[in-house]
Amino acid sequence: MFNAELTTIQQLCYDSLTFKTMQFHKLSAATRLSKIAFIAFVFAAAAVGQNTIKLEVDASQAFRNIVHVRETLSIAGGDFDLFYPKWIPGEHSPTGTINDMVNLYVTNEGKPLEWQRDDVEMFAFHLKASPGVKQIEVNFDDVSQPGTVATANLARIKWNRLLVYQRGVPSDNIAVTASLKLPSGWNYASALTETSKNGDTINFAPTNLTTFIDSPAITGRYFVKIPLSTDPVPVEMDIAGETADSIKATPQTVAAWKNLVRQANLAFGGHHYRHYQFLLTLSDEGGDEGLEHHESSEDGTSEKALSDQLQAADLADLLSHEYSHSWNGKYRRPASLTTPDFEKPMVGDMLWVYEGLTQYMGHVFPARTGMWTPEYFRDQFALTYTDMNLQSGRNWRPLVDTARAVQFTYSSPRAWMNARRRVDYYDEGSLIWLDADVLIRQKSGGKLSLDDFLHKFHGGTGLQGDAATYDLNDIVQTLNSVVAYDWRQFFIERVYNVAKQAPIGGITNGGWKLILNDTPNLAMQVDERSHSFVNELYSIGLIVNSEGGIRDVNRELSAGKAGLSPGMTIRKVNGNEFSLEVFRNAIAATCENANGLTLDVSNGASAETVKIDYRGGLQFPHLVRDGSKPDYLMDIAKARQE
Ligand SMILES: [Zn+2]
């Protein structure tokens, strides 16, 4: 049974701990007031028994993809609704895993309370209780799909999967006191404050539901914690992997991670976390993951990411991206993406800032920290530009529409993506911010940069509670305060209008030219190797997987003009059995082969021989120096000294 008095005493202890970790005496007056207001709210809520959740999560069988939840909720009495989180911050979409919630039982003092799911809102449950009922218990199991959040050796504990709350109550106004039971002997990490540990059960300090859901945990059999910084607050790399070997990081890697913390703080000017945890999971079974939080990030990648060079390049991008989100996305968030609970829909129109600028910093920091070579940095932007520019979808659809349509753009199928466009606010967004960075450098004769915008927009020492939402006007005004320019028109042309060419200003004004040649692009190699396909979008205009299946085609280039389309399978290449190597070698040989390229293709039961009119050989994008202009692009890649 829920005991309000006991909870109040526990909270007194927890809050004194929280005071210490928050360095309360160093906070601004406004921040102190907001903390005091929350603590007062917790006491008041506990005293009257309203808006509190006591959550007991039993993840001791997580490696079997099942986690049990026991939850005690205070309610106002009478009819009420329970809600399962649907709109998950950072996912920008209604991705709540309601289908994985099973064995749902609600009781009051041991007596069953009947629930009925809403006819239309599948995440809402209607319940009836007499006015005197002040507290209920909810039990359910979270059964995850294998390969999504747990494997035999590690698990990601996402609290949004593991609770319901009283519908209609803002998440800032719900106090959560949680415990987590781990698999026997496993270690864990989370941005939450641990108050005590009994065997494998961890007890956490109370916090509000917003912060709680924003503070997931990872747990694993093989686990290591690597301190990256204590200046001025702790930053830690927490790694769970499939094997004892997988979690071993070289001294050079750790040094680069420490450098990332330093470079990010220098670029943004301060930070807004009380401490920060990178929650890194390394598994080929556990699913890729990249989800930002204010004081942590879920960074899920392949098992060999710490030992394989190509995968390490990918990891550098992932860590830099998710870490940047602590500033851009969490501390500063578009008003249209800021919602009071997990039910109100988010509006994605500003994702070209939220994700686009983050994507840009996710490419800048690996270069500034030495995790990417200068060549890799240039190849990344050459690839991004070519990829965006050659999409036929840009002829009908402005960039902002890929963001407004975010509810389905993440799950867009690969087939016909060239015509459809997908989450282009990431990649094309990064080109726009590169363009802006170079423009600021150009107009200020190299004295100012986008970092000056970051300092003004994302800097300072305010905590998350002080976070300010923004809209396009705020972006334009802040940029104007750095360098006077018609920034509104700059964004209208690149984001809001149909733009037949991708933004190339960052490259050309940055002192470089785009070329295509037969030298492999370093950033493409990473992508191709991890996904078992070849990307020939820049030569004949298609992507083919290792079985010969055509995944995408550009109808304006030679393969598309010859009639190839997704759904077809290439069986033979110039009479030889298909393999990715045979296919790529045949494209390379088109330079010398006057007959072009002949493909035997099947489409279901039908088969045909298709002749591709192409003589260009392999085409991979790169940048070459334009000596007539200052090299602003490589200035961007240089580490900041102060
Ligand atoms: Zn992101």
Per residue in 359-408, pLDDT tens?
Answer: 999 999 999 999 999 999 999 999 999 999 999 999 999 999 999 999 98
Cα 246 to ligand 1 centroid, rounded to whole Å:
25
Angle CA(500)–CA(504)–CA(509) in degrees, nearest 5? 145
Whole-number pLDDT of residue 465: 72
Cα 328 to ligand 1 centroid, rounded to whole Å:
9
Cα 60 to ligand 1 centroid, rounded to whole Å:
30
Judged against a pLDDT cut of 90, whether residue 224 lies above it is answered with yes
- The 3-class SS string of 22-80 reads HCHHHCCHHHHHHHHHHHHHHHHHHHHCCCEEEEEEECCCHHHCEEEEEEEEECCCCCE
Instruction: Give the lowest-confidence range in 97-106, 431-440, 457-466.
Output: 457-466
C-alpha distances out from residue 494 to 353, 504, 507, 622, 633, Å: 12, 11, 15, 23, 20
Whole-number pLDDT of residue 50: 59
Query: Helices 374-389 and 424-443: crossing angle, nearest 10°?
Result: 120
Cα 410 to ligand 1 centroid, rounded to whole Å:
12
3-class DSSP state of 475:
helix
Judged against a pLDDT cut of 90, whether residue 137 lies above it is answered with yes
E strands, 247-330, in order: 276-282, 289-292, 296-301
Contacts of 186 (CB under 8 A, 6+ apart): 200, 219, 220, 221, 223
Judged against a pLDDT cut of 60, whether residue 105 lies above it is answered with yes
Mean pLDDT for the stretch of residues 233-259 = 97
Cα 292 to ligand 1 centroid, rounded to whole Å:
7
Cα 338 to ligand 1 centroid, rounded to whole Å:
15
Cα 213 to ligand 1 centroid, rounded to whole Å:
17
Mean pLDDT for the stretch of residues 218-244 = 96
Q: What is the DSSP letter of 420?
A: H
What is the residue type of 240?
A: A
Cα 224 to ligand 1 centroid, rounded to whole Å:
25
Alpha-carbon dihedral sign for residues 518, 519, 523, 528: positive
Contacts of 287 (CB under 8 A, 6+ apart): 147, 148, 149, 300
Which residues on adjacent β-strands are paired with residue 514?
Answer: 623
Cα 453 to ligand 1 centroid, rounded to whole Å:
19
Contacts of 362 (CB under 8 A, 6+ apart): 317, 318, 320, 321, 324, 430
Evaluate whether 229 touches 258 at the Cβ level (below 8 Å).
Answer: yes
- CA 203 to CA 355: how far, in whole Å? 34
Q: What is the pLDDT of residues 140-185, one digit of tens each?
A: 999 999 989 999 999 999 999 999 999 999 999 999 999 999 999 9
- CA 50 to CA 150: how far, in whole Å? 34
Asked whether the bond before 413 is cis by omega within 30 degrees of 0, the reply is no
Whole-number pLDDT of residue 40: 52
- CA 314 to CA 372: how far, in whole Å? 10
Residue 470: phi and psi, rounded to 5, are -145, 165
Cα 475 to ligand 1 centroid, rounded to whole Å:
18
Cα 381 to ligand 1 centroid, rounded to whole Å:
18
Give the number of C-alpha atoms closer than 13 A to the C-alpha of residue 287, restricted to the C-beta side: 16
Evaluate whether 54 touches 177 at the Cβ level (below 8 Å).
Answer: yes
Two tokens, residue 25: 């005496």
Evaluate whether 124 touches 131 at the Cβ level (below 8 Å).
Answer: no
Which residues on adjacent β-strands are paired with residue 117?
Answer: 125
In this predicted model, which residue has the larger pLDDT, 561 or 412?
A: 561
User: Among all chains, which residue has been given the structure tokens 């470089």?
Assistant: 512
Judged against a pLDDT cut of 70, whether residue 10 lies above it is answered with no
Mean pLDDT for the stretch of residues 478-483 = 98
Mean pLDDT for the stretch of residues 539-563 = 95
Judged against a pLDDT cut of 60, whether residue 45 lies above it is answered with no
Q: What does the mean pLDDT of the chain come to?
A: 91
Mean pLDDT for the stretch of residues 123-135 = 94
What is the residue type of 417?
A: M
Evaluate whether 480 touches 583 at the Cβ level (below 8 Å).
Answer: no
Give the number of C-alpha atoms closer than 13 A to the C-alpha of residue 236, restricted to the C-beta side: 17
Judged against a pLDDT cut of 60, whether residue 330 lies above it is answered with yes
Cα 203 to ligand 1 centroid, rounded to whole Å:
30
3-class DSSP state of 569:
strand
CB under 8 Å, gap of 24 or more: what pairs does 403-411 form?
A: 403/348, 403/349, 403/350, 403/351, 403/352, 404/347, 404/348, 404/349, 405/348, 406/92, 406/93, 406/348, 406/351, 407/93, 407/94, 407/348, 408/93, 410/91, 410/92, 410/93
Cα 429 to ligand 1 centroid, rounded to whole Å:
12
Instruction: Give the lowest-confidence range in 24-28, 327-331, 499-503.
Output: 24-28
- CA 300 to CA 303: how far, in whole Å? 9
- CA 370 to CA 313: how far, in whole Å? 10
- CA 198 to CA 180: how far, in whole Å? 10
Give the number of C-alpha atoms closer than 13 A to the C-alpha of residue 402, restricted to the C-beta side: 33
Judged against a pLDDT cut of 50, whether residue 139 lies above it is answered with yes
- CA 137 to CA 1: how far, in whole Å? 9
Evaluate whether 377 touches 369 at the Cβ level (below 8 Å).
Answer: no
Dihedral in degrees, nearest 10, Cα atoms 124, 125, 128, 131: -50
Cα 54 to ligand 1 centroid, rounded to whole Å:
31
- CA 421 to CA 580: how far, in whole Å? 25
Q: What is the pLDDT of residues 256-311, one digit of tens each?
A: 999 999 999 999 999 999 999 999 999 999 778 999 999 999 999 999 999 998 89
Judged against a pLDDT cut of 90, whether residue 2 lies above it is answered with no
Cα 195 to ligand 1 centroid, rounded to whole Å:
31
Which pLDDT band, with edges at 50, 70 and 90, does 15 fall under?
A: very low
Mean pLDDT for the stretch of residues 349-357 = 98
Alpha helices in 296-373 (DSSP H): 309-324, 351-354, 356-368
Judged against a pLDDT cut of 90, whether residue 623 lies above it is answered with yes
Q: What is the DSSP letter of 235?
A: E
Cα 321 to ligand 1 centroid, rounded to whole Å:
6
Whole-number pLDDT of residue 26: 36
In this predicted model, which residue has the larger pLDDT, 35 or 83?
A: 83
Contacts of 6 (CB under 8 A, 6+ apart): none
Judged against a pLDDT cut of 70, whether residue 6 lies above it is answered with no
Which residues on adjacent β-strands are paired with residue 229?
Answer: 235
**Which residue in 204, 177, 174, 180 sits closest to 192, CA to CA?**
204
Judged against a pLDDT cut of 50, whether residue 33 lies above it is answered with no
Cα 47 to ligand 1 centroid, rounded to whole Å:
40
C-alpha distances out from residue 58 to 131, 238, 560, Å: 31, 21, 53
